[in-house]
Amino acid sequence: MSTKEEPLDLIRFHLDEFVLIKLRGAREIKGKLQGYDSHCNMVLSEAEEYIYNDSNDDVETKKTEMVFVRGDSVILISPI
């Protein structure tokens, strides 16, 4: 039982690598994962935020060098 994999392991394996986070409010962030906890609170560096507006064709992009993301906004995390 002690070697059983759990979902948060996937995130652990991608520390110091770039991940894509899908967030509530039609937002996504790509960034290098520097830290996380069991609530999916995260710190990303070299991050880029994408905000999708109602008309899907215009996307607002914001760059940020170091950002803490609160876990309750997170929908999914995927390595890129």
Query: Using CB under 8 A, which residues numbered 12 to 71 contact another protein?
Result: 12, 15-16, 23-25, 34-38, 40-41, 43, 45, 64-71
DSSP state of 31: E
Long-range contacts of 14-19 (CB under 8 A, 24+ apart): 14/79, 17/79, 18/46, 18/79, 18/80, 19/44, 19/77, 19/78, 19/79, 19/80
Least distance in Å: CB of 43 to another protein? 6
Q: Work out whether 72 is an interface residue with another protein (CB under 8 A).
A: yes
| Interacting residues with another protein (CB under 8 A) | 1-2, 4-12, 15-16, 23-25, 34-38, 40-41, 43, 45, 64-79
